Chains A and B, each alone.
Chain A
Amino acid sequence: MGEPRRGLSRRALLTTGSVGAAGAVVGAAGASAVAREAPAADPGTRTVAFRGAHQAGVVTPPQDHGVLVAYDLVEGADADALRRLFAIWTDDVARLTAGRAGLADTEPELALRPSGLTVTLAVGPGAVEAAGVDVPSWLGPLPAFSVDRLEDRWSGGDLLLQICSDDELVVSHALRLLTKEARTFATVRWVQRGFRGPLGRDRTPRNLMGQVDGTANPRPADHDALVWRSPTTTPDGPRWLDGGTTMVVRRIRMELDTWDEIDRTARERTIGRRLDDGRPLTGGRLEDDPDLDAVDANGLEVIDPFAHVRRARTDDRRQRILRRPYNYDDPPPPGELTDAGLVFVSFQADLERQFVPLQRRLAELDLLNQWTTPIGSAVFAVLPGARRGEQLGQSLLT
């Protein structure tokens, strides 16, 4: 009951305050005591720090909306061009994520409620080459997997921005501003928009197959060992990527129209977790690991030998990845009912040690493969964060 009244009285004071100087003083003094609590009540003003050793948008709890945009550099773009582009983007991102308009922002009002906005910059092989730096062997197309039906229009890219916010309008505004500012340096290669379930942010959201998705992600305490590159996680370098990470973006179509044909039991068997609350089929709490050795009365494994979670796990705890996917749901082509799936995004310190063996196992055998088809794929290097006074990409360009 107290909340709405506080909001009302604050607005009333502001109105009074703008009437005259005397009113302003009284109004401001009265309001400042009240206004201290207002930001918590207004999710639009929520900000996520941009400056730091790591970029935001990687281990940041996923916001409700996200867009991934890949760019191709224009002919002749060199290290100097990248330096100028990254200077522009650093300035824009610092402003936008703080709820301030971009420098040459034509719609400044759209910047004022960032709603947890993060913008994450990553480079593909083309940008590293343009910087005049050796391209790491893993920075390029993933090995071909038998399940792949990749389309060019969802694959590759020289540069990538991942833009996430709880407000879709904020995402669109940031995307347009950052793309406009880059127009002399790069052209848009592909754009993938996504959204997350409407559940509260403390609960694990669902994907369009109805599954609770994201449960077995590494915990914050594991991020240094599993996500961030450092002399410890990736002793062989390159050192310009310390503080960064590797990023896989795979567009995975869900065959929802054939998924409709199977019943709940078969659906749960496909994953190895329950549909209603996401708990392992072997019992326990949501956050518990499935018991891969458990057998039923007939001596059969409770978690199917080819269930997604069994195939996605190994005893090697260093092989884990951080998944940060978004759902997509596009207009279907003529004659089809659905075009939906996951913009699968994962972060891992070492792509070859963590992601590739996992994806290889899933491609070999995974019940889920019958209802999922990778149609796009790209690999990027997420640059380290920009501390105060630094620019994104600084380590790559020195």
Chain B
Amino acid sequence: MKRLTTLLLLAATTVGLTACGSSSDADPATEASTVSVQDPWVKAADSGMTAAFGTFRNAADHDVTIVSATTDGVAGRVELHEMATDEDGQMVMRQKKGGIVVPAGKTHTLEPGGDHIMLMDLTRPVEPGQDVRVTVRFSDDSTMSFTAPARSFAGAEEDYEGGTDHGDMEHGDMDHGDHG
């Protein structure tokens, strides 16, 4: 049934587009107002760095771009990352140039092994069951905030590009270790 609904929605969106032609400029809405996030979460970590995930949905008839992100103080630095193959054929993560695009009328999922919001230089442990407040900024400078609950997660242990050449870099590991 979910699949049917999606198909219907897509069909409806297509119809909408045709009706309005290319009048998307007339839309006064900010990018933030057309985007929603579903099932956001962040990987628990003791220190170093970790990542936030979730599915972004763009209801507008034009693409929107997330250009940066911040947290409620838990991360000293936040970057938008993607996964790519390095010269040695290894999958590594690196900053996503130009930001993360959420296509018109579609969703874009941030997930382990794919695009993600990288939380670096953690100022305190992100403990399982805690909530992290994440704010993303779009290319039109509008912002959207959401709460990402932390979960223990064994995956999302991606190497940072160049990280293998320079040992473990300053980012430490993303392991959560023990919490009580």
Residue positions of A touching B, CB distance < 8 A = 14, 17-18, 21, 24-25, 27-28, 31-32, 35, 74-78, 81, 83-85, 87-88, 91, 103-104, 106, 180-181, 183-185
Contact = CB atoms under 8 A, between A and B. Distances in A.
B178 A88 contact: no
Contacts of B149: 87-88, 91, 103
B129 A87 contact: yes
Given A21-B14, A83-B129, A104-B151, A185 B1 contact: no
Given A103-B151, A183-B152, 17 more contacts: A14-B3, A24-B10, A25-B7, A27-B7, A32-B4, A74-B180, A77-B180, A84-B130, A87-B149, A88-B128, A88-B151, A91-B149, A181-B152, A184-B176, A184-B179, A184-B180, A185-B179
B178 to A, nearest CB: 6
Contacts of B176: 184
27 contacts: A14-B3, A14-B4, A17-B7, A18-B7, A21-B14, A25-B7, A28-B7, A32-B1, A35-B4, A81-B180, A84-B127, A84-B129, A87-B129, A87-B149, A88-B128, A88-B151, A103-B149, A103-B151, A104-B152, A104-B153, A181-B152, A183-B152, A184-B127, A184-B128, A184-B152, A184-B176, A185-B128
Interface string B79-91: 0000000000000
A184 B45 CA distance: 11
A88 B42 CA distance: 12
Contacts of B19: none
B144 to A, nearest CB: 19
B180 A76 contact: yes
Interface in B89-113: none
A25 B180 CA distance: 53
Most buried by A among B14, B130, B151, B155: B151
A85 B151 contact: no
Main secondary structure of the interface of A (DSSP, over half): helix
A81 B127 CA distance: 9
Contacts of B152: 104, 180-181, 183-184
Interface residues of B, number: 26
Interface in B1-59: 1, 3-4, 7-8, 10-11, 14, 39, 41, 43-44
Interface string B129-162: 1100000000000000000010111110000000
B10 to A, nearest CB: 7
Contacts of B128: 84-85, 88, 181, 184-185
Interface of B: 1, 3-4, 7-8, 10-11, 14, 39, 41, 43-44, 127-130, 149, 151-155, 176, 178-180
B151 A181 contact: yes
Nearest to A104: B151
A103 B41 contact: yes
A216 to B, nearest CB: 41
Contacts of B127: 84, 184
Most buried by A among B44, B127, B176, B180: B180
B52 to A, nearest CB: 12
Contacts of A78: 180
B151 A25 contact: no
A259 to B, nearest CB: 45
Contacts of B8: 24-25, 28
A91 to B, nearest CB: 7
Contacts of A14: 3-4
Contacts of A76: 180
B151 A35 contact: no
Nearest to A103: B41
A75 B4 CA distance: 49
A207 B139 CA distance: 65
Nearest to B14: A21
A18 B8 CA distance: 11
A59 to B, nearest CB: 29
Contacts of B41: 103-104
Contacts of A185: 128, 179-180
Contact of A184 (B1, B7, B43, B44): B44
Contacts of A77: 180
Most buried by A among B1, B41, B44: B1
A104 B42 CA distance: 9
Nearest to B151: A104
Contacts of B1: 32, 35
Contacts of A106: 155
Contacts of A21: 10-11, 14
B4 A184 contact: no
A278 to B, nearest CB: 40
Most buried by A among B7, B43, B149: B7
A184 B151 CA distance: 10
A32 B154 CA distance: 40
A76 B127 CA distance: 14
B54 to A, nearest CB: 9
